[in-house]
Amino acid sequence: MERVRSFLQSPTYGNVITVLSIDGGGIRGIIPATILAFLESELQKVEEDENARLADYFDVIAGTSTGGLISAMLAAPNHDDDDDDRPMFSAKEVIDFYLQHSPLIFPQNHRCSFGGIIQSIKSLMGPKYDGKYLHKLLKEKLGDLRLHQTLTNLIIPTFDIKRLQPTVFSTYEVKRNSSLDAKLSDICIGTSAAPTYLPAHSFQTQTPNGQLREFHLIDGGVLANNPKKLRVTYDPKCSPIMSKEIFQGNPDFFPIKPMEFGRFLVISIGTGSAKSEEKYRADEAAKWGVLGWLSSHNSTPLVDIFTQASSDLADIFLSTVFQALHSEKNYLRIQDDTLGDKESSMDNATKENLDKLVRIGEDLLQKPVSMGCSNALPGEKDS
């Protein structure tokens, strides 16, 4: 079956814009990758075509941090052979990528008690990891591929610390602003640069008329760890993306009114979060100084808090909107909020934990789905 996608192709199913959203969460990206591998295999069975890929079915794939990396891998064309209209990675190969490379991206020599003390001291002086292996790996895999070359529409949030404002890399925005047409490797390195874990990333782009633009990026999780809100709402602070295209009559989309959320089909996949009763307590945090906020419970509380908060707020907002418009079935949220302390770590790349994260993803496939957590209190979310 031939599946040649044109640049900014119209919605796959005519009346519906299909959206896949993938949260950030470091090493926990294995969880959504496992779920997506199952989804892709089921689509292959339906199509009776082992070459079917998720990029053939989603009009938009968006992700932040590790979710941005997965999104780019699913949407990047294969530049190694003549079959450049097919994605570079299958969803199953994304899992293999994490299992093979995570121990080298996040070396575990600090897991012993003495190493942990040394690492805590080092965290005051610089990032926990130097990122060199990750940078080299992404540049090797993605080469010179740029944002406009993706096989489906891609949205990856980052935050520019020089401008102190969000920078959202979007195939929609590239049409009007060619300075955003960066290499996918640079975008992925930027959105993965979680403060205290990996170093900020800087690079330049050049427009056809020779204009240079500098980027100084960190993890998009400080903006939107769950990036789906960027695609289906208009938020001036977060840079309007997909809705802006629709509102302004982009011919790549069918005519749609701003509030017709029923015309969207959104699948949002989380990377898991810790049991609320097992994370941080106010009586503990009240005693923390800089070091405590940067390193406690084998994690980084400050990063955990802002990424989890942005993810949950986006989920609450979207689920509320879809429910209010009687379109609950068009919004599917897949998330496990029962992870233990070790599994909820962003950088625990031990073989034991990697295998456990795969099992968590597999177990999620057997659980009831959620239409969002708009009515849930912390610790009382749907399964």
Domain contains 55 = yes
Domain contains 372 = no
What's the pLDDT score for residue 318?
A: 58
pLDDT band at 106 (very low <50, low <70, confident <90, very high): very high
What's the pLDDT score for residue 238?
A: 36
Query: How many Å from the N-terminal Cα to the C-terminal Cα in the chain?
Result: 37
**Tens digit of each residue's pLDDT (9 = 90 or more) over 174-188:** 988 999 999 999 999
Q: Worst-scoring range by mean pLDDT, 275-279, 335-339, 372-376?
A: 372-376
Residue 264 has pLDDT above 70, yes or no: yes
**Is 192 annotated in the active site?**
no
Please tell me which residue in 21, 56, 59, 65 is annotated as part of the active site: 65
309 or 4: which carries more pLDDT confidence? Answer: 309
For residues 120-140, give the mean pLDDT. Answer: 86
What's the pLDDT score for residue 11?
A: 52
Domain extent, residue 173, equals 17-109+118-366
Please provide the average confidence, as pLDDT, over all residues in the chain: 79
What is the sign, positive or negative, of the torsion defined by CA atoms of 342, 125, 139, 160? positive
**Tens digit of each residue's pLDDT (9 = 90 or more) over 270-306:** 999 877 655 777 888 888 887 777 777 767 777 676 6
What's the pLDDT score for residue 90?
A: 97
Q: 330 with 83: CB under 8 angstroms? A: no
Residues in the chain, how many?
383
What's the pLDDT score for residue 87?
A: 94
Please tell me which residue in 56, 160, 181, 219 is annotated as part of the active site: 219
Taking the C-alpha atoms of residue 323 and residue 264, their distance in angstroms, rounded to an integer, is 13
Domain contains 11 = no
Within 8 A by CB and 6+ apart from 277, the residues are 379
**Tens digit of each residue's pLDDT (9 = 90 or more) over 239-254:** 334 444 444 445 554 4
Q: Minimal CA–CA distance to 106: which of 158, 143, 68, 66?
A: 66
**Coil vs helix vs strand at 265:** strand
What is the sign, positive or negative, of the torsion defined by CA atoms of 9, 260, 21, 32? negative
Determine what percent of the chain falls in helix, strand and coil, rounding each to the nearest 5: 40, 15, 45
Domain contains 380 = no
Residue 227 has pLDDT above 60, yes or no: no
Domain contains 379 = no
What's the pLDDT score for residue 330?
A: 78
Q: Residue 48 burial (CB < 10 Å; 0-12/13-18/19+)?
A: exposed
What's the pLDDT score for residue 203?
A: 97
Domain contains 3 = no
| Strand 212-218 versus strand 201-206 pairing type | antiparallel
Residue 376 has pLDDT above 50, yes or no: no
Q: Minimal CA–CA distance to 311: which of 330, 337, 331?
A: 337
Domain contains 9 = no
Structural domain total, the chain: 1
Residue 223 has pLDDT above 80, yes or no: no
CATH number at residue 46: 3.40.1090.10
Residue 121 has pLDDT above 70, yes or no: no
Taking the C-alpha atoms of residue 314 and residue 225, their distance in angstroms, rounded to an integer, is 9
Percent of the chain at pLDDT > 70 equals 68
Neighbours of 73 (CB within 10 A): 24
**Is 65 annotated in the active site?**
yes
What's the pLDDT score for residue 380?
A: 45
Q: Minimal CA–CA distance to 217: which of 64, 85, 25, 86?
A: 64
Domain contains 371 = no
